């Protein structure tokens, strides 16, 4: 989908069509969630502070986000995809891979199918989308990006390397800023440069996994099938403060609220997490993340809280002002699916208490039972809970 959140908002604001606009809460501490292509052409990008976007483009239009709308349109679009093939791998709310090899006899060539999808999405939602067609997921993704906005690009299998090799090295999945710097220092600037380098040289520079991975991609080798399995990769909760915070007690109290939320979400999904992560964003927008993998998975909020507090202490932030803090649970496994621990017969009082709290919340509503420290008035903030 093209500039998905912005495109959805513009459906209800025809006066904004063709104008620079962003989706964001209109407040001094907000960041841009999505931007129209007119705004992007003027230098605005996602995750940019709204104040910076307004400095770049003083006349930019700010559209308040409506996430339920995005979920509605996402469901509609994914249903259209499933009408063409059951092999749909949804990557995010606005992106998916489709394997249409089994649909050719019914609907026509892959290019014809792609055009039919674009037409139906436009007719049924009013939204534009871009489609890339190729013999591998990696090249199809590049083709869809290359065709934006509202485009369609087909890369026949025999033309794959002619399309791929002239591209800059950061077109390869896994090449970020640091990896690109390493490759540039070795005189590698295009995908062709990577392809014609000895694989062992790439492994020496980047390590076994990354070097072999990039070498394979440079020759368009991507054997991954379209996967229809839908498994939450992570569950998280983030909190953006209305004013920067330096008080460690307040930060840890916020982490307690988030850890309890994440634990409840895990238990609701009958999952446990092997890895617990912490995210901290400072007033200068620098972000740090830390994580810890556990010997046994957990869904207990108090255990999650202890881990993220330890991670926060280890950061030694030294009074730096914090803008955002968040908790994430990853490495998710089915609850109760692990081998018994040596201490399995010892009841975890917090686990029992939290299960009881879940039952109370289910009957009387969320947050019916809260830690005593939360009984004071809590500052209004923007919260985001993110199953990933």
* Measured CA distances, 84 to 14, 72, 100, 167 (Å): 31, 20, 7, 31
Dist. CA 284–CA 316, nearest whole Å? 17
**Per-position DSSP letters for 356-374, written without gaps between them:** HHHHHHHHH-TTSS--GGG
Q: Annotated active-site positions, please? A: 95
Q: Out of 116-120, 202-206, 329-333, 352-356, pick the least confident.
A: 352-356
pTM > 0.95: no
At 259-300, the pLDDT tens digits run 999 999 998 888 889 899 999 999 988 889 999 988 788 999
pLDDT above 50: residue 226: yes
pLDDT at 229 over 90: no
Q: What is the mean pLDDT of the chain?
A: 87
Going from the C-alpha of 39 to that of each of 7, 25, 223, 224, 234, the distances in angstroms are 12, 16, 37, 35, 32
Q: How far is the C-alpha of 84 from the C-alpha of 38, rounded, in Å?
A: 32
pLDDT of res. 336: 56
Q: Using N-to-C axis directions, what is the helix angle for 199-206 and 177-185, rounded to 10°?
A: 130
12 pLDDT band, cuts 50/70/90, is very high
pLDDT in tens, 24-77: 999 887 889 899 999 999 999 988 999 999 999 999 999 999 999 999 999 999
Gap between the terminal Cα atoms of the chain:
18
- Cα 235 to chain center, whole Å? 11
What is the pLDDT, as a whole number, of residue 253? 94
């Amino acid at each position: 989908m093209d500039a998905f959140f912005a495109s959805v908002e513009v459906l209800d604001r025809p006066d904004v069509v063709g104008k620079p606009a962003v989706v964001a809460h209109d407040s001094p501490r907000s960041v841009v969630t999505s931007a129209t292509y007119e705004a992007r052409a003027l230098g605005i990008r996602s995750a940019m502070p709204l104040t910076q976007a307004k400095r770049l483009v003083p006349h930019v239009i700010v559209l308040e986000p409506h996430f339920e709308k995005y979920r509605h349109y996402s469901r509609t679009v994914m249903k259209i995809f499933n009408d063409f093939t059951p092999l749909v791998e949804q990557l995010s709310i606005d992106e998916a891979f489709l394997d249409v090899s089994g649909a050719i006899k019914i609907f026509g060539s892959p290019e014809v199918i792609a055009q039919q999808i674009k037409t139906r999405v436009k007719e049924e939602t009013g939204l534009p989308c871009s489609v890339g067609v190729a013999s591998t997921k990696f090249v199809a993704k590049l083709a869809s990006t290359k065709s934006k906005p509202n485009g369609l690009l087909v890369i026949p299998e025999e033309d794959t390397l002619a399309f791929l090799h002239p591209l800059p090295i950061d077109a390869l999945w896994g090449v970020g800023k640091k990896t690109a710097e390493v490759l540039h220092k070795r005189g590698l600037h295009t995908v062709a440069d990577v392809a014609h380098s000895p694989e062992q040289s790439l492994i020496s520079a980047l390590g076994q996994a990354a070097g072999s991975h990039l070498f394979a991609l440079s020759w368009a080798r991507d054997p991954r099938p379209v996967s229809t399995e839908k498994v939450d990769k992570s569950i998280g909760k983030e909190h953006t403060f209305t004013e920067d915070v330096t008080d460690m007690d307040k930060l840890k109290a916020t982490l307690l609220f988030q850890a309890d939320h994440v634990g409840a979400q895990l238990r609701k999904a009958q999952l446990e997490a092997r890895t617990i992560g912490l995210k901290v964003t400072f007033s200068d927008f620098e972000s740090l993340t830390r994580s810890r993998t556990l010997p046994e998975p957990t869904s207990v909020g108090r255990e999650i809280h202890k881990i993220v507090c330890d991670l926060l202490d280890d950061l030694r932030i030294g009074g730096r002002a914090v803008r955002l803090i968040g908790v994430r649970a990853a490495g998710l496994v089915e609850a109760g699916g692990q081998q018994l621990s040596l201490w399995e017969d010892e009841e975890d009082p917090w686990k029992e208490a939290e299960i009881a709290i879940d039952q109370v919340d289910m009957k009387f509503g969320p947050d019916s039972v809260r830690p005593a420290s939360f009984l004071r008035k809590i500052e209004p903030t923007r919260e985001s809970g993110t199953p990933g």
